[in-house]
Amino acid sequence: GPKVLQIPSHQIIDMGQMVTLNCDPVSNHLYFYWYKQILGQQMEFLVNFYNGKVMEKSKLFKDQFSVERPDGSYFTLKIQPTALEDSAVYFCASSLELGGPSSYEQYFGPGTRLTVL
Amino acid sequence: QQKVQQSPESLIVPEGAMTSLNCTFSDSASQYFAWYRQHSGKAPKALMSIFSNGEKEEGRFTIHLNKASLHFSLHIRDSQPSDSALYLCAVSRAGGYKVVFGSGTRLLVSP
Protein backbone atom coordinates (compact mmCIF):
# COMPACT_ATOMS: atom_id res chain seq x y z
CA GLY A 1 0.00 0.00 0.00
CA PRO A 2 0.96 3.67 0.06
CA LYS A 3 3.99 4.45 2.18
CA VAL A 4 5.18 7.47 4.10
CA LEU A 5 8.93 7.65 4.62
CA GLN A 6 10.74 9.48 7.42
CA ILE A 7 14.39 10.42 7.58
CA PRO A 8 16.32 9.90 9.80
CA SER A 9 14.99 7.02 11.87
CA HIS A 10 17.04 8.13 14.87
CA GLN A 11 18.62 11.44 15.77
CA ILE A 12 20.67 12.28 18.85
CA ILE A 13 21.55 15.92 19.43
CA ASP A 14 22.66 18.23 22.20
CA MET A 15 20.18 20.57 23.82
CA GLY A 16 20.08 23.94 22.08
CA GLN A 17 21.00 22.59 18.66
CA MET A 18 18.72 22.70 15.65
CA VAL A 19 17.18 19.57 14.17
CA THR A 20 15.19 18.98 11.00
CA LEU A 21 12.96 15.93 10.66
CA ASN A 22 12.06 14.94 7.13
CA CYS A 23 8.93 13.29 5.81
CA ASP A 24 8.20 12.03 2.32
CA PRO A 25 4.39 11.74 2.25
CA VAL A 26 2.23 9.66 -0.08
CA SER A 27 2.61 11.26 -3.49
CA ASN A 28 -0.98 12.38 -4.21
CA HIS A 29 -1.90 13.31 -0.65
CA LEU A 30 -2.89 16.84 0.20
CA TYR A 31 -2.85 17.06 3.99
CA PHE A 32 0.21 16.53 6.15
CA TYR A 33 0.55 16.09 9.89
CA TRP A 34 3.15 15.85 12.62
CA TYR A 35 2.51 14.00 15.87
CA LYS A 36 4.62 13.52 18.99
CA GLN A 37 4.59 10.32 21.00
CA ILE A 38 6.58 9.75 24.16
CA LEU A 39 7.40 6.06 24.43
CA GLY A 40 4.23 3.97 24.58
CA GLN A 41 2.05 6.94 25.46
CA GLN A 42 -0.58 8.99 23.70
CA MET A 43 -0.19 10.14 20.12
CA GLU A 44 -0.34 13.93 20.42
CA PHE A 45 -1.21 16.22 17.52
CA LEU A 46 1.33 18.93 16.77
CA VAL A 47 0.33 20.54 13.48
CA ASN A 48 -1.42 20.00 10.19
CA PHE A 49 -0.51 21.56 6.85
CA TYR A 50 -2.39 22.06 3.60
CA ASN A 51 -1.72 24.01 0.45
CA GLY A 52 1.50 25.43 1.80
CA LYS A 53 0.00 26.66 5.07
CA VAL A 54 -0.39 25.59 8.66
CA MET A 55 -4.06 24.92 9.30
CA GLU A 56 -4.06 24.11 12.99
CA LYS A 57 -1.44 23.72 15.66
CA SER A 58 -1.59 22.51 19.23
CA LYS A 59 -0.12 23.98 22.40
CA LEU A 60 2.75 21.50 21.99
CA PHE A 61 3.77 23.27 18.77
CA LYS A 62 6.02 25.77 20.48
CA ASP A 63 7.51 28.89 18.90
CA GLN A 64 10.72 26.92 18.40
CA PHE A 65 8.88 24.61 15.96
CA SER A 66 8.30 25.29 12.28
CA VAL A 67 7.06 23.29 9.31
CA GLU A 68 7.36 23.69 5.57
CA ARG A 69 7.13 21.77 2.32
CA PRO A 70 9.03 23.77 -0.28
CA ASP A 71 7.94 22.94 -3.85
CA GLY A 72 6.53 19.49 -3.13
CA SER A 73 9.71 18.16 -1.60
CA TYR A 74 10.00 16.79 1.92
CA PHE A 75 7.53 17.97 4.54
CA THR A 76 9.83 19.06 7.34
CA LEU A 77 9.59 19.76 11.05
CA LYS A 78 12.35 22.00 12.34
CA ILE A 79 13.04 22.54 16.03
CA GLN A 80 15.36 25.42 16.88
CA PRO A 81 16.59 25.40 19.59
CA THR A 82 15.84 21.95 20.97
CA ALA A 83 15.03 21.29 24.63
CA LEU A 84 15.23 18.13 26.75
CA GLU A 85 11.44 17.75 26.71
CA ASP A 86 11.51 17.48 22.92
CA SER A 87 12.84 13.92 23.23
CA ALA A 88 10.14 11.67 21.73
CA VAL A 89 9.19 9.80 18.59
CA TYR A 90 7.85 12.13 15.93
CA PHE A 91 5.43 10.65 13.44
CA CYS A 92 4.54 12.20 10.14
CA ALA A 93 1.22 11.33 8.49
CA SER A 94 -0.53 12.24 5.28
CA SER A 95 -4.05 11.93 3.95
CA LEU A 96 -5.90 12.73 0.76
CA GLU A 97 -9.28 13.91 2.18
CA LEU A 98 -10.81 14.31 -1.22
CA GLY A 99 -13.74 12.12 -2.17
CA GLY A 100 -15.12 9.24 -0.16
CA PRO A 101 -14.69 8.43 3.55
CA SER A 102 -11.72 6.14 2.92
CA SER A 103 -9.73 9.16 1.75
CA TYR A 104 -9.62 10.49 5.32
CA GLU A 105 -7.41 7.61 6.44
CA GLN A 106 -4.08 8.85 7.72
CA TYR A 107 -0.99 7.00 6.57
CA PHE A 108 1.81 7.17 9.11
CA GLY A 109 5.53 7.04 8.58
CA PRO A 110 7.70 4.80 10.78
CA GLY A 111 8.69 7.71 13.01
CA THR A 112 11.90 9.51 13.92
CA ARG A 113 13.19 8.86 17.42
CA LEU A 114 14.68 12.12 18.67
CA THR A 115 16.92 12.14 21.72
CA VAL A 116 17.98 15.51 23.12
CA LEU A 117 20.89 15.30 25.56
CA GLN B 1 -11.68 21.79 22.14
CA GLN B 2 -12.24 18.16 21.18
CA LYS B 3 -11.75 15.69 24.02
CA VAL B 4 -11.38 12.02 23.16
CA GLN B 5 -11.27 9.40 25.89
CA GLN B 6 -10.79 5.66 25.67
CA SER B 7 -11.67 2.84 28.02
CA PRO B 8 -10.38 0.63 29.37
CA GLU B 9 -6.73 1.71 29.58
CA SER B 10 -5.61 -1.89 29.30
CA LEU B 11 -7.23 -5.24 28.75
CA ILE B 12 -6.19 -8.87 28.89
CA VAL B 13 -8.41 -11.41 27.14
CA PRO B 14 -7.95 -15.10 26.35
CA GLU B 15 -7.48 -16.22 22.77
CA GLY B 16 -10.84 -16.71 21.06
CA ALA B 17 -12.71 -14.22 23.25
CA MET B 18 -14.63 -11.14 22.12
CA THR B 19 -12.83 -7.85 22.83
CA SER B 20 -14.70 -4.54 23.17
CA LEU B 21 -12.96 -1.17 23.18
CA ASN B 22 -14.72 2.14 23.81
CA CYS B 23 -14.19 5.72 22.75
CA THR B 24 -16.09 8.87 23.71
CA PHE B 25 -15.71 12.28 22.11
CA SER B 26 -16.95 15.76 22.94
CA ASP B 27 -17.40 17.58 19.61
CA SER B 28 -20.85 16.81 18.21
CA ALA B 29 -19.74 18.20 14.82
CA SER B 30 -17.27 15.32 14.41
CA GLN B 31 -17.65 13.36 11.21
CA TYR B 32 -14.73 10.95 10.95
CA PHE B 33 -14.36 8.17 13.48
CA ALA B 34 -11.62 5.60 13.19
CA TRP B 35 -9.61 2.98 15.01
CA TYR B 36 -5.87 2.66 14.53
CA ARG B 37 -3.66 -0.13 15.78
CA GLN B 38 -0.05 0.38 16.84
CA HIS B 39 2.26 -2.55 17.48
CA SER B 40 5.18 -1.87 19.78
CA GLY B 41 7.84 0.28 18.13
CA LYS B 42 5.82 0.64 14.93
CA ALA B 43 3.72 3.31 13.28
CA PRO B 44 -0.06 3.36 13.82
CA LYS B 45 -2.06 1.82 11.02
CA ALA B 46 -5.72 2.45 10.29
CA LEU B 47 -8.01 -0.48 11.01
CA MET B 48 -11.47 0.82 10.24
CA SER B 49 -13.36 4.05 9.94
CA ILE B 50 -17.00 5.10 9.88
CA PHE B 51 -18.84 8.28 9.02
CA SER B 52 -22.48 7.61 9.78
CA ASN B 53 -24.39 6.10 12.67
CA GLY B 54 -24.60 2.34 12.79
CA GLU B 55 -22.27 -0.58 12.40
CA LYS B 56 -19.63 -1.62 9.94
CA GLU B 57 -18.05 -5.06 9.87
CA GLU B 58 -14.80 -6.09 8.25
CA GLY B 59 -13.76 -9.66 8.97
CA ARG B 60 -13.39 -10.12 12.74
CA PHE B 61 -13.66 -6.38 13.40
CA THR B 62 -16.85 -4.37 13.92
CA ILE B 63 -17.08 -0.65 14.53
CA HIS B 64 -20.23 0.80 16.05
CA LEU B 65 -21.05 4.52 16.12
CA ASN B 66 -23.71 6.35 18.11
CA LYS B 67 -23.31 10.06 17.43
CA ALA B 68 -26.10 11.08 19.81
CA SER B 69 -24.24 9.38 22.66
CA LEU B 70 -20.89 10.75 21.47
CA HIS B 71 -19.58 7.19 21.56
CA PHE B 72 -18.11 4.62 19.26
CA SER B 73 -16.61 1.23 19.82
CA LEU B 74 -14.51 -1.51 18.28
CA HIS B 75 -15.34 -5.16 18.74
CA ILE B 76 -12.90 -7.93 17.87
CA ARG B 77 -14.41 -11.35 17.45
CA ASP B 78 -12.24 -14.47 18.07
CA SER B 79 -9.33 -12.39 19.41
CA GLN B 80 -5.87 -13.65 18.43
CA PRO B 81 -2.46 -13.13 20.07
CA SER B 82 -1.46 -11.15 16.97
CA ASP B 83 -4.19 -8.62 17.89
CA SER B 84 -2.11 -7.63 20.93
CA ALA B 85 -1.24 -3.95 20.42
CA LEU B 86 -2.10 -0.39 21.42
CA TYR B 87 -5.49 0.59 19.96
CA LEU B 88 -6.07 4.28 19.30
CA CYS B 89 -9.41 5.81 18.49
CA ALA B 90 -9.37 8.90 16.31
CA VAL B 91 -11.97 11.62 15.74
CA SER B 92 -12.12 14.57 13.40
CA ARG B 93 -14.51 17.05 11.85
CA ALA B 94 -12.86 15.95 8.58
CA GLY B 95 -12.17 18.30 5.70
CA GLY B 96 -8.66 19.08 6.89
CA TYR B 97 -9.47 19.56 10.57
CA LYS B 98 -7.01 17.95 12.92
CA VAL B 99 -7.50 14.36 13.96
CA VAL B 100 -7.55 13.93 17.73
CA PHE B 101 -6.42 10.59 19.10
CA GLY B 102 -7.44 8.99 22.37
CA SER B 103 -4.81 7.92 24.85
CA GLY B 104 -5.12 4.30 23.77
CA THR B 105 -6.16 0.90 25.08
CA ARG B 106 -3.37 -1.62 25.45
CA LEU B 107 -4.74 -5.05 24.50
CA LEU B 108 -3.04 -8.32 25.37
CA VAL B 109 -4.52 -11.53 24.00
CA SER B 110 -3.15 -14.50 25.90
CA PRO B 111 -2.71 -17.81 24.08
Percent of chain A scored above 90 by pLDDT?
71
Is the peptide bond between A2 and the residue preceding it cis, with omega within 30 degrees of 0? no
Q: Do A108 and B45 touch (CB under 8 A)?
A: yes
What is the structure's pLDDT at A96? 86
A73 — pLDDT class (breaks 50, 70, 90): confident
Rounded to a whole number of angstroms, the distance from the CA of A14 to the nearest CA of chain B is 24
pLDDT of residue A32 exceeding 70: yes
Q: Are B96 and A97 in contact (CB under 8 A)?
A: yes
Rounded to a whole number of angstroms, the distance from the CA of A102 to the nearest CA of chain B is 8
Rounded to a whole number of angstroms, the distance from the CA of A25 to the nearest CA of chain B is 14
pLDDT tens-place string over residues B89-110 = 999 887 667 888 999 999 999 9
Q: Are A97 and A104 in contact (CB under 8 A)?
A: yes
What is the structure's pLDDT at A100? 67
Rounded to a whole number of angstroms, the distance from the CA of B49 to the nearest CA of chain A is 8
Instruction: Reduce the DSSP state of residue A104 to 3 states and report it.
Output: helix
What is the structure's pLDDT at A78? 97
Distance CA B111, CA B109 (A): 7
What is the structure's pLDDT at B57? 95
What is the structure's pLDDT at B98? 81
Average pLDDT over residues A10-18: 97
**Number of inter-chain CB pairs under 8 A, A vs B:** 62
Choose among B34, B44, B99: nearest Cβ to A45. Answer: B99
pLDDT tens-place string over residues B15-58 = 999 999 999 999 999 989 999 999 988 899 999 999 889 999 99
A43 — pLDDT class (breaks 50, 70, 90): confident
Q: Do B43 and A111 touch (CB under 8 A)?
A: yes
Q: Are A106 and A3 in contact (CB under 8 A)?
A: no
Nearest residue on chain B to A43, judged by CA atoms?
B101
pLDDT of residue B66 exceeding 70: yes
| Mutate which: B101, B103, B108, vs A, most A CBs within 10 A | B101
Q: How far apart, in Å, are the Cα atoms of B30 and each of A85, B53, B89?
A: 31, 12, 13
How far does CA B13 lie from the centroid of its chain? 16
Distance CA B104, CA B98 (A): 18
Nearest residue on chain A to B94, judged by CA atoms?
A104
Nearest residue on chain B to A105, judged by CA atoms?
B46
Distance CA A50, CA A69 (A): 10
What is the structure's pLDDT at A97? 77
pLDDT of residue A101 exceeding 70: no
Note whether A52 contacts B: Cβ–Cβ < 8 A: no
What is the structure's pLDDT at B58? 93
